[in-house]
Chains A and B, each alone.
Chain A
Amino acid sequence: MKFIHTGDIHWGMCPDADKPWGNERARAIKDTFRRIVEKAKELDVDCMFISGDLFHRQPLMKDLKEVNYLFSSIPGVKVVLIAGNHDRIRGNSALLSFTWSPNVTFLMDEELSSVYFEDINTEVYGFSYHTTEIKEPRLEEIQVPISSRIQILMAHGGDASHLPINFNSLELSPFSYIALGHIHKPKLMAELKMAYCGSPEPLDMTETGRHGFYTGEIHPVTKKVTSLEFIPISQLQYIPLAVNISRDTTNMELAARISQEIRSRGEQNIYRFRIKGMRDPEIDFDLVQLASRYRICEILDDSEPQYDFSALFAEHPSDMIGFFIQALQKDDMSQVEKKALHYGVNALLHTTDERS
């Protein structure tokens, strides 16, 4: 029995909405899902499990139609869905009156329910979110009859307020494979027995690394997963980079270094830079121009002007600079205090005549 395991598509989300590439990202999410469906055909799988959060919000009729069209294009693949916390089923959901393509099974019940496919001797269990949160570890209580069928469990959650999961006890359960969703980073667990598929496209700048889906095969007799492969499919990645600077680093140099990093890693990717180190107090890094040239979602300037405060204090023991340093400097300074010290000393130094 061959299958594809995906989820957390967040269809309809617009990541980085305030950035020029926001719309492109929204399109990429739909496009990548389409490619997964195409892959299902290409890989000739029997099942496709979508472990919740297919939609970013409550789906509209048009979204359902779009997705259903994609599903109808793979009539030979049995698609099984559950609803996650983002697309939880509400009383007013269009899902309730929607007619899916015959190959689609949406396990909409709040309680554990299952669907059995006789031809592949597979029974898929799962339940859907009807509330924003599930705080009870409901997977602990589930009971499934021992049978000769291949048993699959689909579940969405894993954090404290979304279905807390005890992975150790889940590992001992009779399921052949547990298709988990909710965590956006792909993660393999319990020797192929369970996995978080991760979101096929990274959805914000914290979701770094590769994104894609899992495809695997379960032996019909031993009912064990014989192979499970991660297939990266995202159109781009979010890449966080730290740039270390020194007192000698100039604006141009920094821009050149960042450009080079971006070019070597691919210009289509979205970057996040953190500038660290001690900079020349006279230099202010201005990277706006860089941000307009590449996809940079954030540049955090954590660099500090390299003042030697003890030297400064020794030089100005009994004047405003000295008093100022004395007043603000202490061992555990908050960010604001640190900055205040820099600003103040900078201003005082800039307005001090050399000799009077």
Chain B
Amino acid sequence: MRLLNLHINGFGKFQDQDISFQKGLNVVYGKNEAGKSTLHTFIRGMLFGIEKQRGRAARNDLYGRYEPWAGSGTYEGWLRLESLGEIYRIERRFQKQNKELVIINETLGKEMEPTGALLDQLRCGLTETAYNNTISIGQLKCATDGGMVAELRNYIANLNTSGSIALNITKASTYLKNQRRELEAQLVPQAALSYTTLISEIRKLEQEISSPAYANQLSAYRSRRLNLKQTLEQKQQEKESLLQKAARGRQVLAGSQFTDRDSISSYMADTRSLYEEYQTSLEACSRKTQKLRAILAVLAAVLCLAGAGVLIQFPGIASGLPVTLPLILGGLGSLGFVLLILGFLQINRGRRHKKDLDASTRLLQEIFARHLGDSGVSQEAMSAFELRMGEFLRLCGAITQSEETLHKLSDEIAGLMKLEDSCSDEIEQQQRVQWELEKKLEHLSACKNQSEALKRTLAENERIQEELDAIDLAQETMTTLSTSIRDSFGLYLNKTASQLIGGITGGIYSSMSIDQNLNIYMNTPSRLVPIEQVSSGTMDQIYLAVRLAAAKLVQNGRDSMPLIFDDSFVLYDDDRLKTALKWLVHAYSSQIIVFTCHQREAQLLTANQVEYHLISI
């Protein structure tokens, strides 16, 4: 891009002023207060516009500062320039109530829409800030050396960080950090932890309650207990009836004064022997011979004794006999005596038999009377009695059997009762287990409710986390961008500025280097000189080199803006100025405009036969 000419119709001190520029080097000479800065600002204003600030800021803004002094009512002008081979005229009215911007393509002869793209083309892609910081070159403002170092370093630092001084990502970064902190405070950090704890608790509980120990078997146990109860009742009844039966049997036995089988058997045996005895006695008694024998014996004895008595009376009877009387007497007497004794003996025996018979009869009668109700002693009675006894024996057997059954039943009942007890215990146990289960279920339910509530908190946390992620991403993007810009920019700056410095200083310094800590070193062929040690003039040269490097960097490449120097060479000595100017014309092919309040630039250029265009205001 190249400035052709401009017309000022009310801007600061200028009213109706025309200035034209040439290709290559233009030197605008004016004394102090001649309006060099005004002209400079006008060019900028034409390119970027001048906005009236609002409120307080308006007191000392550009708009106010360059309002036309003459109060002509106009605050406007136009600027002609050549861009990419075509000539444009920018007409601007700055008045705040009546702003206007018209761009006319003079080559095509038509008015152009002042779009961003068009303006961008005309400005070679520079923003106003970039314009200020690169191609529009003043001198370092600080008068002191230390201050100049700091200012230079600051300039490089800002360039380095973002490529444009206007954007300070440290501030933006702090701003984001604050936002992040505020958001972070809304997080419920322990939610996730509590949630996991809850979930594991729930899992544990679920596992616990699904264990077979908690299976509800109450109804099974209950029906079992019911069954047992019924069986038990039945058995009890059975036992009761058996007991009664046995008791009745016992009673019958006891009524007959029997205790058990043995007593019956022995009783029966006794009776049987008694009966036998009776029979023998009866037989004995019934034998007539014995009685007869006794009677005969007594009779014989009487006869013998009577014979003996007769003989004594009548000894004669016996005279005929061969034996003597006394002998006969004696024989008869003793015979009679013996017979008598025999007869008595016989009688005695018969009596004894009788007595025996009586006794056994009486006993038998008693027995029969008791058991048969009939006291008659006979074979039939005896058989009946034996039958009766047999019955008793059977009864006895039955009793024993029932008693055995009873015993078994009792055992069974005891077993059943035990079972019932255990069943009841089991039911109790089940109820306890169920109660325990209910507690656990309640707890589980509470846990689940809690976890559901927590889920919401987690979702909210997630939402906040998303915001945090977004901030982090923004932060990260910014840092990456700034690093990559700094890296590329810093490297480029270093390289370009290094190349330039040799030319500007006429070979005094071959190159410069800027390290990460923004320490600037100048390389001479023999040593490295820290910037603190160079003169203020050199510092201005370095400044120029860096700016030029930056200017090359920020322009869009297709086209380049004119370089504008505003009293930049004040601190240069004549030699340096000569070198710098000569080098500049050589190094920068585009238009160069040098504003100066000294005449030495023009003189030097003339003396060195460098082509230039002088504009005096």
Interfacial residues, chain A to chain B (CB-CB below 8 A): 12, 14, 17-18, 22, 56-58, 60-62, 90-97, 311, 314-321, 323-324, 327-328, 335-344, 347-348, 350-356
Inter-chain contact B171/A314, CB cutoff 8 Å? no
- A265 → B minimal CB distance (Å): 23
**Residue of A22, A96, A97, A321 with most chain B CB atoms under a 10 A cut-off:** A97
Contacts of A344 in B (CB 8 A): 172, 176, 474-475, 477-478
Inter-chain contact B434/A336, CB cutoff 8 Å? no
Contact partner of B453 (CB less than 8 A), chosen from A18, A90, A96, A338, is: A18
Contact partner of A319 (CB less than 8 A), chosen from B127, B176, B472, B474, is: B127
Q: Which residue of A lies closest to B455 (CB)?
A: A18
Number of A-B contacts (CB under 8 A): 163
Q: Which residue of A lies closest to B481 (CB)?
A: A323
Q: Which residue of B lies closest to A57 (CB)?
A: B445
Contact partner of B166 (CB less than 8 A), chosen from A92, A319, A347, is: A319
Contacts of B453 in A (CB 8 A): 17-18, 22
**In the complex, what distance in Å separates the CA atom of A22 from the CA atom of B446?**
13
Contact partner of B478 (CB less than 8 A), chosen from A97, A314, A324, is: A324
Contact of A320 with B167 at beta-carbon distance under 8 Å, contacts A12-B445, A94-B434, A344-B477 already known: yes
Contacts of A57 in B (CB 8 A): 441, 444-445, 448
Inter-chain contact A319/B167, CB cutoff 8 Å? yes
Inter-chain contact A336/B469, CB cutoff 8 Å? yes
Inter-chain contact B466/A336, CB cutoff 8 Å? yes
Contact of A339 with B467 at beta-carbon distance under 8 Å, contacts A18-B456, A61-B438, A348-B167 already known: yes
- A16 → B minimal CB distance (Å): 8
- B133 → A minimal CB distance (Å): 8
**In the complex, what distance in Å separates the CA atom of A1 from the CA atom of B470?**
62
Inter-chain contact B473/A340, CB cutoff 8 Å? yes
Given A56-B445, A343-B179, output 18 extra A-B contacts at Cβ < 8 Å.
A17-B452, A18-B454, A18-B456, A94-B434, A95-B216, A97-B222, A97-B434, A317-B125, A318-B125, A319-B129, A320-B172, A323-B485, A339-B471, A340-B470, A344-B475, A344-B477, A348-B478, A355-B129
Inter-chain contact A352/B166, CB cutoff 8 Å? yes
Chain B positions 29-66 with a Cβ under 8 Å from a chain A Cβ: 53, 57
**In the complex, what distance in Å separates the CA atom of A60 from the CA atom of B179?**
49
Contacts of B471 in A (CB 8 A): 339-340, 343
Q: Does B345 contact A (CB under 8 A)?
A: no
Contacts of B172 in A (CB 8 A): 320, 344, 347-348, 350-351
Contact partner of B216 (CB less than 8 A), chosen from A94, A311, A317, A318, is: A94
Contact of A353 with B166 at beta-carbon distance under 8 Å, contacts A327-B477, A339-B466 already known: yes
Inter-chain contact B448/A327, CB cutoff 8 Å? no
Contacts of B475 in A (CB 8 A): 344
Inter-chain contact A17/B449, CB cutoff 8 Å? yes
Q: Which residue of B lies closest to A204 (CB)?
A: B452
Q: Mark B52-82, 1 if CB is under 8 A from A, else 0.
A: 0100010000000000000000000000000
Inter-chain contact B482/A320, CB cutoff 8 Å? yes
Inter-chain contact B179/A92, CB cutoff 8 Å? no
Contacts of B133 in A (CB 8 A): 356
- A163 → B minimal CB distance (Å): 22
Stretch in contact with the other chain, from B17-25, B206-214, B523-531, B595-603: B206-214
Inter-chain contact B474/A340, CB cutoff 8 Å? yes
Contacts of A327 in B (CB 8 A): 477, 480-481
Cβ contacts A to B, 16 pairs, < 8 Å = A18-B457, A94-B434, A96-B219, A97-B216, A318-B126, A319-B129, A319-B163, A320-B167, A336-B470, A340-B473, A343-B179, A343-B471, A350-B172, A351-B168, A355-B128, A356-B129
Inter-chain contact A340/B477, CB cutoff 8 Å? yes
- A36 → B minimal CB distance (Å): 23
Contacts of B126 in A (CB 8 A): 318
Q: Does B227 contact A (CB under 8 A)?
A: no
Inter-chain contact B215/A91, CB cutoff 8 Å? yes
Contacts of B438 in A (CB 8 A): 60-62, 94
- A208 → B minimal CB distance (Å): 18
**In the complex, what distance in Å separates the CA atom of A240 from the CA atom of B46?**
55
Q: Mark B89-132, 1 if CB is under 8 A from A, else 0.
A: 00000000000000000000000000011001000011111101
**In the complex, what distance in Å separates the CA atom of A134 from the CA atom of B510?**
85
**In the complex, what distance in Å separates the CA atom of A58 from the CA atom of B448?**
12
Q: Which residue of A lies closest to B179 (CB)?
A: A343
- A149 → B minimal CB distance (Å): 30
Contact partner of A93 (CB less than 8 A), chosen from B212, B216, B222, B477, is: B216
Inter-chain contact A92/B176, CB cutoff 8 Å? no
Q: Does B234 contact A (CB under 8 A)?
A: no
Q: Mark B477-517, 1 if CB is under 8 A from A, else 0.
A: 11011100100000000000000000000000000000000
**Residue of B216, B442, B554 with most chain A CB atoms under a 10 A cut-off:** B216
Contact of A92 with B215 at beta-carbon distance under 8 Å, contacts A318-B125, A344-B477 already known: yes
Q: Does B187 contact A (CB under 8 A)?
A: no
Inter-chain contact B212/A14, CB cutoff 8 Å? no
Q: Does B437 contact A (CB under 8 A)?
A: yes
Contacts of A353 in B (CB 8 A): 166
Contacts of A338 in B (CB 8 A): 470
Q: Does B263 contact A (CB under 8 A)?
A: no
**In the complex, what distance in Å separates the CA atom of A82 from the CA atom of B212?**
24
Q: Which residue of A lies closest to B214 (CB)?
A: A92
- A45 → B minimal CB distance (Å): 30
Chain B positions 196-234 with a Cβ under 8 Å from a chain A Cβ: 209-210, 212, 214-216, 218-219, 222
Q: Which residue of B lies closest to A26 (CB)?
A: B449
Q: Which residue of A lies closest to B120 (CB)?
A: A317
Inter-chain contact A317/B176, CB cutoff 8 Å? no
Contacts of A58 in B (CB 8 A): 441
Contact partner of A343 (CB less than 8 A), chosen from B127, B166, B470, is: B470
Chain B positions 294-330 with a Cβ under 8 Å from a chain A Cβ: none
- B323 → A minimal CB distance (Å): 128
Contact of A316 with B127 at beta-carbon distance under 8 Å, contacts A57-B445, A347-B172 already known: yes
**In the complex, what distance in Å separates the CA atom of A126 from the CA atom of B456?**
36
Contacts of B268 in A (CB 8 A): none
- B114 → A minimal CB distance (Å): 12
Q: Which residue of A lies closest to B438 (CB)?
A: A60
Contact of A319 with B473 at beta-carbon distance under 8 Å, contacts A60-B438, A347-B175 already known: no
Chain B positions 384-423 with a Cβ under 8 Å from a chain A Cβ: none
Inter-chain contact A17/B450, CB cutoff 8 Å? yes
Contacts of A341 in B (CB 8 A): 474
**In the complex, what distance in Å separates the CA atom of A351 from the CA atom of B126?**
21
Q: Does B585 contact A (CB under 8 A)?
A: no
Q: Which residue of A lies closest to B53 (CB)?
A: A354
Contacts of A336 in B (CB 8 A): 466, 469-470, 473
Contact of A356 with B470 at beta-carbon distance under 8 Å, contacts A328-B477, A347-B172 already known: no
Inter-chain contact B176/A347, CB cutoff 8 Å? yes
Inter-chain contact A91/B216, CB cutoff 8 Å? yes
Q: Does B346 contact A (CB under 8 A)?
A: no
Inter-chain contact A60/B442, CB cutoff 8 Å? yes
**In the complex, what distance in Å separates the CA atom of A341 from the CA atom of B210?**
52
